[in-house]
Chains A and B, each alone.
Chain A
Amino acid sequence: MRASTKRTADLFALNSLFNAVLILSVALVVAVLLLESLPMIYRDGIGPLVTSVWNPAREEYGFLFALGGTLVTASLALLLSLALSVGSAVMYAEFVPPSLRPVVRNLMDLAASMPSVIYGLWGLRVLSPFLRNHLMEPLSALGLSGILGTPSPAGTSLLSASILLAIMVTPFASAIIRERLLAVPQHVREALYSLGLTKPEVVLIELRYIRRSVLTAMAVSFSRAVGETAAVAMVVGNTVNPNFFRVFSPGYTISSLIADQYPNAEAYYYMAPALFYAALVMFAIGLAVNLALLRYGETR
């Protein structure tokens, strides 16, 4: 008995091999990214970050439009999903009768695990035309097209991408918030009610109580929204759009730019490096936002 435990004692250290595998593979990905983008960084420095040109014939690449598109779509999606996920989590925890909860929870959890490419197909064939006809066209007709741009015939646009992203990340975010809401100690809740507060008022206080988890949920949503490729590439419209705040117009995000342009990138000298550079920049932004939010969320 004693002997057998002794023999397995060293096995634990062997586990570190698997850590090494993970570390090595991440390092490899980062290394490939750096190596591939180096020619462009060397040639143009931070130029591509602040210009919006995509002219391969002259080997000019400035991906500000895609960077902007990424930030605009991810932020819009973040705001929308904040409202949607907090709302639906509150609905679940406070209003849905316990007998119905499993149905709602299973539905949301299933939605969270569904392939993004299905969302993309639905976004392309159903959501984008719908948004175009019932939201963007009427608003443009009201004279907003000067500010928000003109919708394209298919409705594929930065706005469609944002809304699709919000729909996609809400189940994730709301799961996190809902679990924390349910975990609010019963005595806290009872104490609040005993003050004579109404249900919505109690909920508002509870939300303040769990605001760190809401932040975590937002961090998750943001990185999912920034990194999503397949679904966004299907609905964002894939057009070089320097006015990326005109969300009714089609645009690019960095991941959709890569998906769209990489296929022909290697016919040029600097396009592939430019695309990898863009990926590197977006990675840095995502990491910074995420770490900041997590750091803030973890300091209790």
Chain B
Amino acid sequence: MKTSTMRVIVAVVLVVVALGAVWILLQERSGAPAAVTETPATGTRQVYVVGGGATFINPQMQKWIRDYMEETGGRVVVNYQSIGSGAGEAKWLEGALDFGVSDIAISKAGYEKLLASGKKFIQVPLVAGSVAIVYNLPEFAEAGCVLRLSGEVVADTYLGNIIKWSDPRIVELQEERCRGRLPDKEIFGVHRSDGSGTTALFTMYLTLVSREWAEKIGYGYTVTWPRDALGLGEGGRGNEGVSAKVQNTPYSIGYVETAYAIQLKLPVAALRNRDGYFVLPNETTVSEALKRAALELPGPHEFWGDLPLRHYMNREGRLSYPIVGTPVAFVYLDVPAETSRALYDFLKWVLTKGQMREHLVEGFLPLPEELRARALQYLESLVRT
């Protein structure tokens, strides 16, 4: 009796699944998923391009792709997967991807390989990125204070030279009324455990502002963290992991992409910029820093690997936020015309309409006008050749 009941249940499940499958197929036939799967009215073949790389830009990329395909009727189908900046570069070099995206552009090693292969390519920035320093200080939250930090202090904290929140070097940076509120507690330093462009940008900044950091640690997707060795720091996986750790650990400090800090509403520290002003990362301050780099942007096929270090970060101007970067897309020029046309079309949309508020995911910031103009100019070589 038991087995016969089983059999009936299984049969019912099967029938339901089968009916569901038929129904889906019928739905698709009738064109329910709208523009996405349909060939456009012009009758031209759909062009398919594959990209991959930086994890940070993935949410934004998925929104762009969705919106772009909806608007253009799916003439160009774009598949982007967040396989990591390093893999984005490597797999693009191996010819597995039509375009790669990296948080800090093509590495030195990759650039040498490219030069050796003699392939023509261009690089374009896609969106404004910045790294926010987030913290968890209950005393500050109560009093409505905003933490102020300088690059040297942040570097010394992660180096393990500054142990406690009440360190005079931190105290002296704060507003008068908040100084007394810094507790005599140890700072818990959170960082990314996985390799990431965010870490690369953050450590580039520390390299720029602290000689000791530059000598001992350097920059990269993954670095060693001296504070961990003191038992006063640990890693979190992804921007989400770092955010969660900071949120749940009182007296901690961490760094995340500004988009995540905004989305998760974490307290963000104001950072002292080159001109000595304390600025928070937002559209104005990030644009202010990036637009200054627009005119110095190297040619589309030059080495961009240390671009943030040399041109983006720690810029002059009282409103410039110091830790900024741009995820960079790279595409080959010598590919079938169909592919380069499709990539041109998609990237152009990203750099024009894609920068408008309705196409940006909360927390992502548009490129400043000046940088966008340069990027569009670079993009033209995709169709000119």
What residue in chain B is nearest A233 (Cβ atoms)?
B237
Stretch from A2-10, A20-28, A51-59 at the B interface: A51-59
Nearest CB in chain A: distance from B114 CB, A:
13
What residue in chain B is nearest A266 (Cβ atoms)?
B90
Within 8 Å of chain A (Cβ to Cβ): is B189? no
Within 8 Å of chain B (Cβ to Cβ): is A68? no
A263-B87, A264-B87, A267-B86 given as contacts; is B249 within 8 A of A238 (CB)? no
Nearest CB in chain B: distance from A279 CB, A:
17
Nearest CB in chain A: distance from B290 CB, A:
23
- Residues of chain B within 8 A of A240, CB atoms compared: 193, 228, 235
B197-250, CB < 8 A from A:
217-224, 228, 234-237, 241, 244-245, 247-249
A152-B234, A237-B237, A267-B110 given as contacts; is B224 within 8 A of A53 (CB)? yes
Asked whether B194 lies within 8 Å of A153 as measured between CB atoms, the reply is no
A239-296, CB < 8 A from B:
239-240, 249-250, 260-269
Within 8 Å of chain A (Cβ to Cβ): is B109? yes
Within 8 Å of chain B (Cβ to Cβ): is A15? no
B3-41, CB < 8 A from A:
3, 6
- Residues of chain A within 8 A of B84, CB atoms compared: 262-264
Asked whether B248 lies within 8 Å of A56 as measured between CB atoms, the reply is no
**Complexed CA–CA distance, A261 and B86 (Å):** 10
**B83, B217, B241 — most chain A CB neighbours (10 Å):** B241
Within 8 Å of chain A (Cβ to Cβ): is B196? yes
- Residues of chain A within 8 A of B244, CB atoms compared: 153-154
What residue in chain B is nearest A259 (Cβ atoms)?
B194
A152-B245, A264-B84, A264-B86 given as contacts; is B193 within 8 A of A238 (CB)? yes
- Residues of chain A within 8 A of B221, CB atoms compared: 56, 264, 267
Binary interface encoding of chain B residues 75-86 relative to chain A, with 1 for a CB under 8 A from any of its CBs, else 0: 000000001111
Interface size band for B: 35 or more
Count of A-B residue pairs with CB < 8 Å: 102
Binary interface encoding of chain B residues 177-194 relative to chain A, with 1 for a CB under 8 A from any of its CBs, else 0: 000000000000000011
Within 8 Å of chain B (Cβ to Cβ): is A102? yes
Asked whether A238 lies within 8 Å of B86 as measured between CB atoms, the reply is no
**Complexed CA–CA distance, A238 and B191 (Å):** 12
A154-B241, A266-B90 given as contacts; is B194 within 8 A of A260 (CB)? yes
Contact of B2 (CB < 8 Å), options: A56, A102, A267, A268 = A102
Binary interface encoding of chain A residues 192-206 relative to chain B, with 1 for a CB under 8 A from any of its CBs, else 0: 000000000000000
- Residues of chain B within 8 A of A54, CB atoms compared: 222, 224
Within 8 Å of chain B (Cβ to Cβ): is A99? yes
Within 8 Å of chain A (Cβ to Cβ): is B300? no
What residue in chain A is nearest B102 (Cβ atoms)?
A267
**Complexed CA–CA distance, A58 and B248 (Å):** 32
Contact of B86 (CB < 8 Å), options: A53, A250, A265 = A265
**Complexed CA–CA distance, A266 and B91 (Å):** 9
What residue in chain B is nearest A269 (Cβ atoms)?
B109
Asked whether A153 lies within 8 Å of B6 as measured between CB atoms, the reply is no
- Residues of chain B within 8 A of A267, CB atoms compared: 85-86, 89-90, 107, 109-110, 195, 220-221
- Residues of chain B within 8 A of A249, CB atoms compared: 234
A239-B235, A264-B86, A265-B195 given as contacts; is B224 within 8 A of A55 (CB)? yes
Asked whether A261 lies within 8 Å of B110 as measured between CB atoms, the reply is no
Nearest CB in chain B: distance from A114 CB, A:
16
Contact of B109 (CB < 8 Å), options: A57, A152, A153, A268 = A268
- Residues of chain A within 8 A of B55, CB atoms compared: 263
Asked whether B223 lies within 8 Å of A57 as measured between CB atoms, the reply is yes
Binary interface encoding of chain A residues 35-64 relative to chain B, with 1 for a CB under 8 A from any of its CBs, else 0: 000000000000000000111111000000
Asked whether B85 lies within 8 Å of A264 as measured between CB atoms, the reply is yes
**Complexed CA–CA distance, A231 and B194 (Å):** 16
- Residues of chain B within 8 A of A55, CB atoms compared: 222-224
What residue in chain B is nearest A249 (Cβ atoms)?
B234
- Residues of chain B within 8 A of A264, CB atoms compared: 84-87, 194-196, 221-222
**Complexed CA–CA distance, A268 and B90 (Å):** 10
**Complexed CA–CA distance, A93 and B312 (Å):** 69
**Complexed CA–CA distance, A261 and B221 (Å):** 10
A125-179, CB < 8 A from B:
152-154, 156
**A152, A267, A269 — most chain B CB neighbours (10 Å):** A267
Contact of B237 (CB < 8 Å), options: A106, A238, A262 = A238
**Complexed CA–CA distance, A57 and B225 (Å):** 12
Asked whether A260 lies within 8 Å of B86 as measured between CB atoms, the reply is no
A154-B245, A267-B107 given as contacts; is B222 within 8 A of A261 (CB)? yes
**Complexed CA–CA distance, A152 and B234 (Å):** 9
The contact sample of 12 A-B pairs, CB cut-off 8 A, is A54-B224, A56-B220, A56-B221, A57-B223, A261-B194, A263-B195, A264-B86, A264-B221, A267-B107, A267-B110, A267-B195, A268-B220
Q: Identify the B interface with A (CB < 8 A).
A: 2-3, 6, 55, 83-87, 89-91, 107, 109-110, 193-196, 217-224, 228, 234-237, 241, 244-245, 247-249
Taking A237-B193, A240-B193, A250-B193 as known contacts, 8 extra A-B pairs with beta carbons closer than 8 A to each other, sorted by chain A number, are A57-B223, A152-B234, A238-B235, A240-B235, A263-B86, A264-B85, A267-B220, A268-B109
Q: Identify the A interface with B (CB < 8 A).
A: 53-58, 99, 102, 106, 152-154, 156, 237-240, 249-250, 260-269
For the complex of A and B, list the 7 residue pairs with the smallest distance between their C-beta atoms, beginning with the closest. A263-B84, A264-B86, A266-B90, A264-B195, A153-B248, A267-B86, A264-B221
